[in-house]
Each structure stands twice: as C-alpha cells, then as structure tokens.
A and B are shown apart, each in its own frame.
Chain A
Amino acid sequence: VGNKTHRITLRPTGVELRAPAGTPLRDPLFEQGVEFPCGGQGRCRGCRIQVLEGEVPSGATERDRLTPGELAAGWRLACQCTVESDLVIELRQWDAAILADETPFTFEPRPGLGVVVDVGTTTLVAQLLHLQSGCVLAVRTALNSQGRHGADVMSRIAFALSPGGLQELQQLIRRQIGALISQLLLAARADGREVRDVVLVGNTVMHHLFSGIDVEPLSHFPFNPIRDGLEIFTAEELSWELPGDVAARFLPCLGSFVGSDILAGILATRMAESADLIGLIDLGTNGEIVLGNREKILCASTAAGPAFEGARIAMGMRASTGAISQVTVAPPFSAGLKPGATKDRVEDARLQCHVLGNVEAKGICGSGLVDAVAAGLDLEIISPSGRFADGRSEWQLLSPVTLTQADIRELQLAKAAIASGLQLLRERWGGADPVRLYLAGAFGNYVNRASAQRIGLINYPPAQVQPAGNTALLGAKLGLFRRDGEDGSYRDLRRRVEHVGLSADPHFQDAFVQELGFSNRSHAYQEDIAL
C-alpha cells in the first residue's frame, strides 16, 4: 500500500477528503467537526458511521458495541477505523441537515474575534468570526446534548422540573458550547485570548436552560416567563477556555416561547426598518411566525409537531441519505419513463422521486412528504379532505417507500398549525398580506414553495416566498457588531414587538380546523365548522 492516498466521501454533505493509507479515520473526521463523545475510546456509539462503499474491517471493540446486524449493514465506530481503501461513509451525527450561514452582511469593523452560537432545541451551530474583516474563520455544528432528555421543548421542560433536572440540562449545554468554542479556536488555529465577545441566540426554553432560570411558568398556560431578557455571563463562571472577563450574551426573548432566534431573524430580515409588511416563518416542531414592518411587529408560536422533520410518519426520516426529498408528477411520456412498466406499481410511473445520495430509497423526509401530498392532490389520489380518494390505506411512492393515510393526517395537523397562526396574525394586522415572506430553518430552505402552497402550508405564491437560510445565526452575527453603548438588550425593538398568544384566542381553534383541509373550495369546508 505504501504512501497511497485514499478518497473519503462524506454523506449527506458530499464533502470529499483525502487521507494517506493507514490514517486513523478519526483524524480527518474530527477536522470536519465530528464529535467523539467518549474521546475515541470505543466506549460509546456516538461516532458511529455506515460504510456505504469501500472496505473497513471491524475489530473486537466494535463487536462489543454494535449488533451483528449493524456490523453486517456496514456500521462501524469511526474512532476504531483506519483508512485502507476509498470510502463513502454516512455519519450518524449528521443525520440532521444543519444549516450554517454565509450570507454577507454589513458591519463596523472591530479588533479581535467573536463567537456566535445558534442554540437550537435539536442542533447547535457555532461560528468564529474575525471582527475586523467579518470573515467566518470556523464553523462547528452538533446535536444538542440535552436531546437525550427529550426531543422537544415540552419534554425538556418536564425533565427540567424533575429533581436536579434544570442543573443537569444547564451543565450539559454550557459544557457542550464551551467545547464547541474550543474546537472553533483549534480549527482556526486562533488564540482564545483574542476573543472579545460571545453572542448566543435560541428559543425561550433554551435561553432559560442555559441561564438556569426556572422553566415552571413555561410549563402551563398562560406560558408567561418571569425573566426573559438579556442574560450576561463571564467566561469564568461558564468555565470556558476564554479570558475570564469575556462576556457571553444570551440575547433576550420576545414573549412566551418566541426567543432570541426570532429576534435575530427580525434583525437579519431588516423587518423593523421596512416600510413594506414582511413575514418570517420558522418551520419547526415549534413553528414561529412574525409579521411586521417599521411601525409594528407581531409574533406568535404554534405547535406544529415533528412531521416536517419526518417524525411520526410511517416511513419518515430526517433529510439524509436514502430519504425521498422531492416528488414531482412526471409529464406524460417524458423521456426515460416507462409508464406501467411494473403493473403492481402503476402509480410510480406517474411520479419522479429524488432520493438523497442517489441510493435506494429508505424513507421520506419533510420536503418529500409535502411534495408527495401535493402530487397526490394534483393526481386526485388524495381528496381535498385529506382522505385517499379511492379509500386505500397507503400509496406506494417508490418501492419500498409508501405514504399512509395516517401520514397525511399528521401533515394536515402540522400545516394547519402554521397556516392558522399566520392567518390570525394577518387578521390582527387588519387583513394585510406580507409583500415578502421569509422561510427560516432547514426545512424552510428545502421545501418546494409551490408544493407548500398547493397543500395550504404557505398560502402565498412562490414568488412572494423566499428561503432565508439560518436567520438566527445571521442575526446573532449582527448582534456581535453592536454599536458603542449597546449591550444587546434591544430595548427599543422589543418594545415594538407584540407577542400574540394564539392558544387563548377563541378564533384560533376555528381557524385551525378550517385549515386542516387541503382546499377551502371543497363543499365541506365552506361551512363554518365551529361549534
């Protein structure tokens, strides 16, 4: 083998690396931000990978940690592998497509370095910035280590309310962000002493758990936090490897569950300076909706559930290798298609499915789900009430992936939560429609806007709707370049933002039920269904 180099392709990102034969796989992967939770000792399963192409023999340590089935399917622990051939591997940690942000922005140069962190319920993204040039020097992403204590904010709150729970969650997130910052500095070969400022953004629950604020008021109606303003900590009290007096600022929340990630979104979209009415929607398990301009800004949160992330869907999965991410109706007799080629899969011939990583389909992710239902409506396989028109219980999209009746119902619940929330804010604004509607977050960036309109998730034409990337991270960066004398409390802006509690609004549940269907034109939905 000698000093031959091998090519390593990472899925789902498509990043290609080169490493000399015999290199421990952990070295190039660590450079890419892969975490080794037990320090590469083979004691945990945190760094497991699936070898899609190439040869990686398994060792005794892996036989202890992985089942024979997993080993046969190509699963390995990255910390135990060496590079002996060209490889295509999929990283378990990267199941979630995590969005960083590279949007250019205007700023006033300052000396030193700054760090921004988007503290998501599911994922964390951290960037190291050169404050003089505004350049991003390094990026690190990770799954939020609090995830083991619950996937969504409500189960995180439930855990925080158990004895010792809040301290446990606070320690986990503080330690993990500290480690991410150390990794950023290492990756950029930068000196920690140069760091001047750290800005963190996240929803209200993340804000409270990081700051150690009691989440009990967020556990029940009316969901009003006691203290949700700017929180400042020194690197010393956080035990981060930075000069002790560096301040870490968790930016203030906007009301109830709407946090500083949305405040950052308002900064990033320049909504507060706009003459036109602008909308911003973060499509997640907890959907946040903002509608405003330079006069007034209204915001709300609505529980959409995890369907957009592929959860609670029979063959749902995250947007990773093997996921159907796009579904379109094939034009008749289009090249390369053989209609009715397989008799038992007649429907397939009418669809074109894109599978991430160009492998055999394993499941369907949120964007594929929205497309599939839009296609089903166009083909009249799905009726406007959401029911399969011919009474079937499932629809085969691309073998072996099917869409079930229950999947459609889950999507109806999710889209109705968002659509009715936007509808209510619009009414509060006097019925005005936004000139532009920005979609934030990973799902919002991948979802097909025409399909989103077809299913009534976003009731605006694609031309009016714009994917906006990770607006939380971009806004946090703007937060790094505050003007002199500003502390990051955004008092003026917060005064202009009004939080609207949707659940307490009697119209909300009526609007929600109205939006459950796929078309308001169908007979059943013309009636007022409120009882």
Chain B
Amino acid sequence: MSTLEELQEAIINGNAPAAKQLTERGLSEGIKPGEFFPGAIIPAMDEVGRRMRECEFFIPEVLIAARAARGSTDLLRPLLVGDAAQKPMGTVVCGTIKGDLHDIGKNIVAMMLESAGFRIVDLGADVAPESIVEAVRREQANFVALSALLTTTMVNMKSAIEALVAAGLREKVKVLVGGAPVTQAWAQSIGADGYGKDAVAAVELARRLVAQ
C-alpha cells in the first residue's frame, strides 16, 4: 500500500497519530503538499461521508475521522501558502444561527468542507446577522453556511440573509442552509442558494456551486 493509501485508511479509521506520521513520511518521500488532498484526504472524507449517510458511521466516528484529517491538514496548510496552484476552493463563513447553541452538526459540515479544500471561518454558535455580514466583508467570503436545530430559531436565517442584502453583499456570496427543522422549501422561501440535508449534501452542493 502506498503512503497516500495508508493515510486514507488512517483517516477513515480515525487514527490521528498515524495520520500525522504518514503525512510526515509522505513529505519526506517527496510527495508534494498539494497532492495529499486529491490523493488521500478528499477521498478519505468522501468515504467517511458515504459511511455516515449509510448509517455505518455515527457522530463519534465522523468526529474522530475529521480530527485525524485535521492532523494531516495542519501540517500541510503552512506548506501551501503562496502556492498559486493550491488556492482554496473558496472561503466559507459558517455558524449556528442566533438563539441556537447546537453546533455538532455545524462542526461536522465545517470539517467536511475543510477536508474538501474549502477555507473555513467558523463563527461558532448563537451568531447574530451583523457578525455574519462583518465576517463576509472581512474574509472576502464566497459562501455562508448556516445551521439551525430549532423550529423557533430557523427564522433567524431569514434575518441573516436580509442583513446580507442590506449590506449589499448578497450577490457576492452563496448562502447554504441546513439543520433538522430546515427543508428545501424553507430554504427557497427565505431566498437561500441551497439546502443540504446532511454534511455530504452540503459538500456536494458547495462543489456544484463552485463549478458554476
């Protein structure tokens, strides 16, 4: 098995020490930092997403795998700075909406997007519309990804989109929404650009929108 294949296995199995060690070994073997993503990290997290969707993996397994992936990306990111060919897929400002503290789902989406090559600016939970506007402007974001877990807080997604419109930033970003009470119809009604029913769908959606 090649080092990249071994790294892919280590990430899927959530073995963080092995993932870190294999990344170091790969670098010493002369593998270019940018090659780790298409060669190991992205396929590994795609596989984790597939297993999550098939109910084979649950929250703990996904979190452990994402942590292993992060062990690898933390080593690689500094090496990619200034490499024009390794520009991130885009910058995503993400957060759980105002009034809501549930952030496990949002964290999983953020980690999957990060592993897929996006730059993540995570604003945490209970995020006010003003903070989103400010972060989009500051970070030159291309995406806003919002999560809500309560029927009573998802209305604040609408306020966030309205704030982006008022700030003249709505045309600059694609807004993705998700969370247990959120539906495709709701996403459309508030003028979001897309709805992801799970983390895998969110990554697919973001990739599709980048390609457009």
| A157, closest chain B residue (CB) | B152
B102 within 8 A of A: yes
Contact yes or no, A516 B56, CB < 8 A: no
Using known A-B contacts A219-B153, A531-B67, determine if residue A509 contacts B104 with beta carbons closer than 8 Å: yes
Q: Which residue of A lies closest to B150 (CB)?
A: A154
Known: A221-B100, A503-B101, A531-B107. A161 touches B152 (CB 8 A): yes
| 17 examples of A-B residue contacts, CB within 8 angstroms | A154-B151, A155-B151, A220-B99, A221-B126, A385-B58, A387-B55, A391-B56, A406-B55, A409-B58, A509-B103, A513-B59, A513-B63, A513-B104, A529-B60, A529-B63, A531-B63, A531-B111
For residue B119, CB closer than 8 A to chain A, the reply is no
- Residues of A contacting B63 in the complex (Cβ-Cβ under 8 angstroms): 513, 529, 531
Is A527 within 8 A of B102, CB to CB? no
Count, chain B residues at interface, CB 8 A: 27
| A154 and B152 within 8 A (CB) | yes
Chain A residues with CB below 8 A from B56, complex form: 387, 391, 405
Q: Does residue A366 face the partner (Cβ distance < 8 Å to B)?
A: no
Interface of B is mostly: loop
Asked if A512 lies at the interface with its beta carbon under 8 angstroms from chain B, I say: yes
Cross-chain contact B100 with A220 (CB below 8 angstroms): yes
Known: A154-B152, A531-B107. A219 touches B99 (CB 8 A): yes
Interface residues of A in 196-227 (CB under 8 A from B): 219-221
- Can you name the residue of chain A whose Cβ is closest to the Cβ of B149? A303
Provide the bound-state CA to CA distance between A524 and B63, in Å: 11
Q: What chain A residues lie within 8 Å of B150 (beta carbons)?
A: 154, 219-220
Complex Cα distance, B98 from A219, in Å, reads: 11
Q: Is the CB of B64 within 8 A of A220?
A: no
Cβ–Cβ contact B99 & A409, under 8 A: no
Q: Determine the chain A residues whose CB is within 8 A of the CB of B10 once the complex forms.
A: none
When C-beta atoms are compared, the residue in chain B nearest to A517 turns out to be B60
Indicate which residue in B64, B101, B102, B111 contacts A529 across the interface (CB closer than 8 Å): B64
The distance in angstroms between the C-alpha atoms of A529 and B107, with both chains bound, is 13
A220 and B58 CA atoms in complex are apart in Å by: 27
A158 at the binding interface (Cβ < 8 Å): yes
Instruction: Tell me whether A220 and B66 are in contact (CB under 8 A).
Output: no
Q: Does B61 reach chain A (CB closer than 8 Å)?
A: yes
Contact of A524 among B14, B55, B100, B102 (CB under 8 A): B14
Task: Give a binary string over B42-80; 1 marks a CB under 8 Å from any A CB, 0 the rest.
Answer: 000000000000011011110110110010000000000
Q: How far is the CB of B83 from chain A (nearest CB, A)?
A: 27
B residues sitting closer than 8 Å to A (CB atoms) are 14, 55-56, 58-61, 63-64, 66-67, 70, 98-104, 107, 111, 126, 150-153, 156
Complex Cα spacing A186 to B61, Å: 59
In the complex, which residues of chain B have a beta carbon less than 8 angstroms from the beta carbon of A405?
Answer: 55-56
Partner of B59, one of A157, A219, A221, A516: A516
| Cβ contacts under 8 Å, B152 to chain A | 154, 157-158, 161, 219-220
Knowing A405-B55, A531-B107 are in contact, say whether A385-B101 is a contact too (CB < 8 A): no
The bracket for how many chain A residues form the interface is 20 to 34
Query: In the complex, how many angstroms separate the beta carbon of B64 from the nearest chain A beta carbon?
Result: 6
Residues of A within 8 A of B (CB): 154-155, 157-158, 161, 219-221, 385-387, 391, 393, 405-406, 409, 412, 503-504, 509, 512-514, 516-517, 524-525, 527, 529, 531
Pick the residue among A387, A406, A524 that contacts B64 (CB under 8 A). Answer: A524
Structural contact, A503 and B58, CB atoms closer than 8 A: no
**Residues in chain B near residue A524, CB distance under 8 A:** 14, 60-61, 64
Q: In the complex, what residues of A have CB within 8 A of residue B61's CB? A: 385, 524
B153 lies within 8 A of A220 (CB): yes
Q: A158-B152, A161-B152, A531-B70 are in contact. Are A412 and B100 (CB under 8 A)?
A: no
A514 to B58, CA, bound (A): 12
Q: Is the CB of B70 within 8 A of A516?
A: no
Tell me whether A527 and B104 are in contact in the complex, defined as CB-CB below 8 angstroms, given that A158-B151, A393-B55, A405-B55 are known contacts: no
Q: Are B64 and A527 neighbours in the complex by a CB distance under 8 Å? A: yes
Which among B61, B66, B102 has the greatest number of chain A C-beta atoms within 10 A? Answer: B61
A405 to B53, CA, bound (A): 11
Known: A154-B150, A509-B103. A409 touches B66 (CB 8 A): no
With both beta carbons as reference points, the residue of chain B lying nearest to A220 in the complex is identified as B99
Q: Which residue of B lies closest to A508 (CB)?
A: B101
Query: CA of A157 to CA of B150 in the docked complex: distance in angstroms?
Result: 11
Q: Is the CB–CB distance between A412 and B58 below 8 Å? A: yes
Who on chain A is nearest to B154 by CB?
A158
Q: Which chain B residue shows the least CB distance to A502?
A: B101
Contacts of A154 in B (CB 8 A): 150-152
| Closest-CB distance, B54 to chain A (whole angstroms) | 8
* A480–B21 alpha-carbon span in the complex (Å): 68
Q: Contact check: which of B58, B66, B99 meets A516 at CB < 8 Å?
A: B58
Nearest to A509 among chain B residues (CB) is B104
Q: Chain B residues with Cβ under 8 A from A393's Cβ? A: 55
**Which chain A residues lie closer than 8 Å to B153 at the CB level?**
219-221
Contact across chains for A516 and B55 when beta carbons are under 8 A apart: no
> Whose C-beta in chain A lies nearest to the C-beta of B57?
A387
How distant is the Cα of A386 from the Cα of B156 in the complex, in angstroms?
Answer: 34
Point out the residue from B55, B60, B99 that lies within 8 Å of A221, measured CB to CB: B99
Report the minimal beta-carbon distance from B151 to chain A, rounded to whole angstroms.
5
CA distance A509 to B60 in the complex (A): 11
Known: A155-B151, A385-B58, A516-B59. 17 other contacts (CB 8 A): A161-B152, A219-B150, A219-B153, A220-B150, A221-B100, A221-B101, A221-B153, A385-B60, A405-B55, A503-B102, A509-B103, A516-B58, A517-B60, A524-B64, A529-B64, A529-B67, A531-B66
